[in-house]
Structure 1
């Protein structure tokens, strides 16, 4: 039975996709907005010509007469009107420009908040964050204010993105079946999908699992999802958490090493600020089995597990990185209850970190220094800590701007599992 976790990724497919993105990027770079406008106009002209063909031959061919006559005529005039309407042809460019502008403004805000955190906590280097904040703000605002322009600036940045994405796919496709990463530890920049699209990957996966169970394709989630390579013996596991609703639908990342979960987040609820997106960075270690059951019981989470088979050299690098992180922490004993923001009005609630300690044998720590001293959901988050540890083993998920979402990490792990000789050897679901 085919598992729903099978993606059908091959080296040939990645090469074809990479070449297509590269060609599209180069054409955008050369011709600017006129290239997508021409493609859309040609597509609409093709649809118009097809309806003309169907109208002329509807009395001689059943295939041409599949639509009622009135619909055939209506589509003929509609496609002809749209193909000749410059406003409609330019509309997709305007929509893309708006999305790109909003994306740049969001990146600028993320860089700005992260720069503030680095200044507050005395973290260096940080100049790049300030530069990113300034230029991304200028580009983003200029894009949103210049929607009536020719769109050349927006298409230039989109062209660079396509070229980077195409190059990454070509490289991944070329080395798809090579034994890369088993012994050589190296980090490489890669161009991933936009942050907004990556954010929904965990939730989409959860929906696929739930839909398959409702259709009776399997009795349990594990039966329809779990996969393992031959002779798979993972010695480290990555977890992608996801819930059906709320902020948990975006996901959370932690890892399991030597039977203990290592996780990072804003677990000191009393330190939350900026609408709960920022707070003291808390790292904890918990018993694997108790933690998985705790997550399923407390938050109704689904956990997607990815097993990695690492070499002794890679394990030694991870041990060194964990020891380095732990040297920057001090033990933290969480209070039992969260302080109400409005004493006497708000109801007291148990602190999540306290429950972790009691029910999952968690040991909690706060950072005294480093970029993890302050948690921020968009940058110094759970994914950055997990990537810092596992990155010592040579994973190459580093984003160009350093911002990685749980969905980005899941997309990377999914693709690595499809490679026959990669570090990722198992995929499991815990629900």
Structure 2
């Protein structure tokens, strides 16, 4: 895929400003940590308190226990940072070290699933070492936290500089897709301060979806990438799928009884379904709005797609969800008794066809490793799209940012975008009931 050879001044500014911001703040945190520390901890506390408000509202309005837990956690973090700065700094340091340890564990688990892949093993050990050292040598001085944040911001500045370079040189598209991009802390981004920003964006989208929809040129759309989103529970992390010829391709952990490690690992299940019926079901029933991006593939890429999809079917065997199995056996079954499991709801409402991987790297699904986002990106990279794949705890939101940037690029193959939500009936598809 041609990743920008003619960025406009506005697009260059959009990529350059975050890099400069990270660089200036990172240097400030490292060189004069005392001046930044108090303001940062106080700001983090205020944002956390603000983030807890909508959680409290929805916890009591819709009787959601998960929202109540999130509200109490964000409020506690906010109060701690506002009134007990040193303890807040201590907590932030501990959380960051735990995040590094979690990322290291993710890589080690993925290395085992990939039959002790050397690259993942060494990176995982590196993350574990960094997290362990930080956890052992932490102390209550807020300046120490600022130095940690400063180092992180400088790494982000370097990464943004690389992104700017890659998006400016189409011959380096493959380099862009093979770099070791750092994943952001998906849980904290999805649950804590950005919750407020996400709600504001969601509300705004209801009123400007028509402005969001767009087309760059008249080229044929022969591949669509879908970024699922939501505002509650697992939907906060979203989902990523792709479709061609109105057939949706999706990968995930749908065999709930076979899940391990608290549902973070399970058999790799793949399904195909009518894309428009599936999209409507996501919006109307599952309350998950969709961002859709239309791509134009070359003839060579279309042939590669056919080979890639054929390999998926050669590595998988048919799998039936419990509700379908009961139906085939002639046993009485209803959605009321089986609807808690997503695979049952999906089969009942869309008629999707499931398949289970029996070999290859996707035999085991890992929420923090081989998840839906990495699957979609890896499969699309097989046909030459060269999408970036971050390492660590990856969420579909990262690919939303990538697709937005590529849509802004006049030379990329991402030529359309649209937004689908039950709040805007005109954005739904006209399919038979």
Q: TM over 0.5, yes or no?
A: yes
Deviation for aligned residue 1:365: 0.7
Residues 132 and 13 (structure 1), Cα distance of their counterparts in 2 relative to 1, 3 Å cut: closer
Alignment partner of 1:108 out of 104, 110, 114: 104
Residues 413 and 297 (structure 1), Cα distance of their counterparts in 2 relative to 1, 3 Å cut: same
Question: Aligned equivalents of 1:99 and 1:289: distance in 2?
Answer: 41
Q: TM-score, normalised by structure 1?
A: 0.70
Q: Deviations over 1:298-334 (max 9, x none)?
A: 3122111122222223333333333223221111122
Unpaired runs of at least 5, structure 2 = 1-8, 41-83, 327-335, 422-433
Residues 126 and 334 (structure 1), Cα distance of their counterparts in 2 relative to 1, 3 Å cut: same
- Cα root mean square deviation, aligned: 3.7
Question: Aligned equivalents of 2:298 and 2:146: distance in 1?
Answer: 44
Deviation for aligned residue 1:256: 0.9
- Number of the residue aligned with 2:280: 293
- Number of the residue aligned with 2:222: 235
Tell me, yes or no, if structure 1 residue 386 matches structure 2 residue 376: yes
Tell me, yes or no, if structure 1 residue 169 matches structure 2 residue 160: yes
- Number of the residue aligned with 1:310: 297
Q: Deviations over 1:334-367 (max 9, x none)?
A: 221799xxxxxxx942453344334323221101
1:97–1:154 contact (8 Å) kept in structure 2: yes
Residues 332 and 338 (structure 1), Cα distance of their counterparts in 2 relative to 1, 3 Å cut: closer
Question: Aligned equivalents of 2:202 and 2:180: distance in 1?
Answer: 29
Please, which moves more after superposition, 300-309 or 93-102?
93-102
- Number of the residue aligned with 1:57: none
Deviation for aligned residue 1:223: 2.2
Tell me, yes or no, if structure 1 residue 141 matches structure 2 residue 132: yes
Whose helix proportion is higher, 1 or 2?
A: 2
Residues 207 and 328 (structure 1), Cα distance of their counterparts in 2 relative to 1, 3 Å cut: farther
1:199–1:406 contact (8 Å) kept in structure 2: no
1:178–1:421 contact (8 Å) kept in structure 2: no
Q: In structure 2, the residue corresponding to 1:397 is in which secondary structure?
A: coil
- Number of the residue aligned with 2:235: 248
Structure of larger gyration radius: 1
Residues 277 and 371 (structure 1), Cα distance of their counterparts in 2 relative to 1, 3 Å cut: same
1:13–1:173 contact (8 Å) kept in structure 2: no
- Number of the residue aligned with 1:406: 396
Alignment partner of 1:370 out of 360, 364, 387: 360
Deviation for aligned residue 1:161: 4.0
Residues 93 and 357 (structure 1), Cα distance of their counterparts in 2 relative to 1, 3 Å cut: closer
1:268–1:334 contact (8 Å) kept in structure 2: yes
- Number of the residue aligned with 1:210: 203
1:269–1:338 contact (8 Å) kept in structure 2: no
Q: TM-score, normalised by structure 2?
A: 0.69
Q: In structure 2, the residue corresponding to 1:275 is in which secondary structure?
A: coil
Q: In structure 1, the residue corresponding to 2:261 is in which secondary structure?
A: coil
Number of corresponding residues: 356
Q: In structure 2, the residue corresponding to 1:142 is in which secondary structure?
A: helix
2:238–2:396 contact (8 Å) kept in structure 1: yes
Deviation for aligned residue 1:131: 3.9
Alignment partner of 1:257 out of 236, 244, 248: 244
Alignment partner of 1:195 out of 172, 182, 185: 185
Q: Deviations over 1:176-216 (max 9, x none)?
A: 5666689x797332645622365467995565233454xxx
